[in-house]
Amino acid sequence: MKQEFRLDGKAAIVTGAGSGIGRAIALRFAASGAKVYLVDLRSDRAEETARMVAEDGGADAIAVQCDVTDAGATRREFAAIAARGPIDILINSAGVSHIGRLETTTEADFNRIFLVNVKGVFLCMQAALEFMKRQGGGVILNLASIAATAGLSDRFAYSMSKGAVLSMTLSVAKDYLADNIRCNAVSPARIHTPFVDAFLKENYAGREHEMFQTLSNSQPVGRMGKPEEVASLALFLCSDAASFITGADIPLDGGFFNLRG
């Protein structure tokens, strides 16, 4: 049987590809036939992901060092990628987190979150858009969060940023229907990434295991999600099998919204 969720002959830009969810998506896409451009602020991490792609026998992977909050740099790097061929897929996975409520969020905290999580997504979509329009279409997938639509404790700035990501997703999906550009969002609940481990080590030294279980149990299924599970959903949404899906926010939440209580 022909494998339905394949990306053979397509090129995908994955931001934040140097670790966590972005890396998992890049690896899955490369294994499914896509040529992947691994965009990350840290070139060493992007190059490490490229080596992992090569070791797995995936399609071409090219590391691209880029600060997605820098408009000029983002336009230049995307133009250089487009000079190599079509940009079929854009995954906006680069992001940062913040713990704190309104009164404990400083202006510097707010600006840092906004620059990466909101402006970075805006700049990357804008940079890819002209090329997608010119070539007759494309797919954009943004990493939002359940924080965009749920009230989470101590996540004021982060929730703000992911709400903006979701709103931008819906706007782009509506505005570019006639250009054959699909735009969707994935909203994960807590995913076990290196950020989670670093957070527990920094804030709960000696109690990491206990707090890991507490955080895991906040999902009704009793565990955190895996980056690879986000990657599987991303693969489907960016494949031709999902050609009827646009303007959607897909929860990947272990039952968080509908099965609590």
Mind telling me the catalytic residues?
Answer: 158
Which comes out higher in pLDDT, residue 1 or 60?
A: 60
* Other CB atoms within 10 A of residue 4 CB: 10
Query: Mapping DSSP to helix (H, G, I), strand (E, B) and coil, where does residue 63 land?
Result: strand
- Domain spans of the chain, in order of start: 11-189+226-252, 192-224
Q: How confident is the model at residue 2 (pLDDT cuts 50, 70, 90)?
A: low
Evaluate if residue 61 carries a pLDDT over 60: yes
Rounded to the nearest integer, the mean pLDDT of the chain is 95
Task: Summarize pLDDT for 213-252 with one digit per residue, the tens.
Answer: 988 998 899 999 999 999 999 999 999 999 999 999 999 9
Given a contact cutoff of 8 angstroms between Cβ atoms, the answer to whether 208 and 164 are in contact is no
pLDDT for the residue 3: 64
Instruction: Output DSSP code: residue 204.
Output: S
Q: What is the CA radius of gyration of the chain?
A: 18
CATH number of 11-189+226-252: 3.40.50.720
Q: For strand 35-40 and strand 11-15, is the pairing parallel, antiparallel, or unpaired?
A: parallel
